[in-house]
Amino acid sequence: MSELPSQAQDQFLQRLRATAPERDSTRSKLATNSLISADTPERLEKRKNRLLAHRSMATALPDTHRDMLLSGAVLATAPAEVKNAFEVLIEGRDIQQAWFLPRGAELRRTVGRVHIRNASYREGWGTGFLVAPNLLLTNQHVLESADVARHSWVEFEHEETYSGQMLRSAIFDLCPDVVYLSSPADDGLDYALVAVASQPRQAESNWPQATLAGFGFNQLSSEEGKLVKGEPIHIIHHPEGQARQLSLRNNRLMALADAQLAGSWMHYETDTLHGSSGGPLFNNQWEVVGIHHAGAVKKDEQGRPLAIGGALWTSDMGESRKWYYANEGLRISRFMQDVVQRLKTFTASTPDFTLTGQGQSLVEAMFKPTAGPAAGRVDPPTAPPPPTDPPRRFRPE
């Protein structure tokens, strides 16, 4: 399935109501350029330390300010000019380091379109992303069981070029008999971790020579300090099963401290649609900070959905015109903590947890850090072949 179950949707909306004051407070801090006071001193200190460990980000600070912070100065008690310089660094203003574009372009290739299928045909769309060699992460409400995963596929390079042509894409089988680890959308964390075949399906792929290794993967981190409230969040996704897209502008982390979020969820503003579920959430350094889980549509007093701009939404407008005003994602650190705990207690396969010896090696690779402060890891990319002419759009129905 691709729709969030009704119970999980109700739980999300309950959490969203609870975080309204926190989101309003963050919005107020942003409006008054007081981002550095939007989060707690403890979280800001963790963010400071992580950014200072990132060579390119650290050098963006003036030398004297950087040296002061590197010497151990606590941000909360630092001079005003140092605080202001750090605030500019985390605020994500329009000026970015030039590596921002090529790094995002590399990591976009790790994000695929999930074909949610039964034994005969496609039932829906989702998004997933590679987090280790041969290991895909998405939502449980996208791949709700090992049986659904067994029939489903993931497609990489489903992307439209500037000239309107489609890249040749590669479609891979999922392998839940090697790894399938999930937490339910209802009363759980709504994730599914599943193994992926190394070679594409030949008949369905427009790029049958591709290999999964050529797309690389995202190196995850369970450490805190990747994001503070008010910072930008970016998502790469396949909304409504469309060609790969990016949401980059006017997207901010708005809430994560409320008790209702239980240290697991975060609320943010960004444009999403059905099919975005399971997409990776990135910070400005292209580190994965979460997994997109749900979006809330703005409604009028009678409970009718509104379109972007405030008019009443009607079905002829299409899903893309609905006004999604808030979103929820699972924090990646919470996901990793849950996997660690479940690995410790694993004894035998269950419907929501299958793990072979090969699968255990894949999952363990997800926890192996790479050298240096890199935001993620992508193998040297294999350039895709030129777009097809005329474009070939695979239709599985």
246-275 per-position pLDDT tens digit:
988 778 999 999 999 999 999 998 765 566
Q: Helix axis angle, 41-52 relative to 80-91, nearest 10°?
A: 70
Q: Which of 47, 34, 19, 33 is nearest to 284 (CA)?
A: 47
Q: Which residue has the tokens 């970016």?
A: 234
pLDDT (tens digit per residue) in 46-67:
998 898 888 777 777 777 888 8
Counting Cα atoms < 13 Å in the Cβ hemisphere of 382 gives 16
Range with the lowest mean pLDDT among 20-24, 207-211, 321-325, 380-384?
A: 380-384
Residue 359 in any domain: the answer is yes
Residue 239 CB neighbours (<10 A) = 22
Residue 66 in any domain: the answer is no
**Is 15's pLDDT higher than 80?**
yes
Put residue 270 in one of left, alpha, beta given phi > 0 → left and psi -120 to 50 → alpha. Answer: beta
Task: Give the separation between CA 61 and CA 64, rounded to whole angstroms.
Answer: 8
pLDDT (tens digit per residue) in 175-198:
999 999 999 999 999 999 999 999
Residue 326 in any domain: the answer is no
Where are the extended beta strands (E) located within the chain?
A: 111-117, 122-132, 135-138, 153-156, 170-183, 191-196, 234-237, 245-247, 252-255, 265-269, 280-282, 288-297, 324-331, 353-355
Number of domains in the chain: 1
Residue 213 in any domain: the answer is yes
Residue 315 in any domain: the answer is no
What pLDDT, on the 0 to 100 scale, is given for residue 341?
96
pLDDT (tens digit per residue) in 83-131:
788 877 777 666 778 899 999 999 999 999 999 999 989 999 999 999 9
Residue 142 in any domain: the answer is yes
Length of the chain: 397
Residue 55 in any domain: the answer is no
Structural domain boundaries enclosing 206 = 112-123+136-218+351-366
Residues with Cβ within 8 Å of 296's Cβ and at least 6 positions away in sequence, in order, are 12, 13, 16, 324, 325, 326, 327, 328
Task: Give the separation between CA 19 and CA 28, rounded to whole angstroms.
Answer: 14
Q: Which of 209, 208, 213 is nearest to 196 (CA)?
A: 213
Q: What pTM value is reported for the model?
A: 0.89
Residue 200 in any domain: the answer is yes
